[in-house]
Amino acid sequence: MAVTRLVGECEKGTCATLYRLDETGDLLVQGYDVEDAETLVGIKIPAGETVVRIPAEIIERYAREYLAR
């Protein structure tokens, strides 16, 4: 399945990034592991899912560049 890079924390490299699956339009998030147990208190994470941290700027840029059309 083809993936398109939408926006990221840096223009090149392996930074936190938002991608779109071309076939379905679903979004993929590459982010930082959340290893601090206190941060995860109160979040119920079902099997097969995980929580990652990304800079808010990535979502803000996505909204400006793709949702404002």
pLDDT for the residue 14 = 79
pLDDT for the residue 9 = 86
pLDDT for the residue 49 = 93
- 3-class DSSP assignment, residue 67: helix
pLDDT for the residue 64 = 92
Give the CA distances from residue 29 to residues 3, 22, 37, in Å, rounded to whole numbers and listed in that order: 11, 14, 21
| 34, pLDDT greater than 70 | yes
Stretch 33-51: mean pLDDT, rounded?
93
* Amino acid occupying residue 35: E
Domain regions of the chain by residue span = 3-67
Stretch 21-31: mean pLDDT, rounded?
95
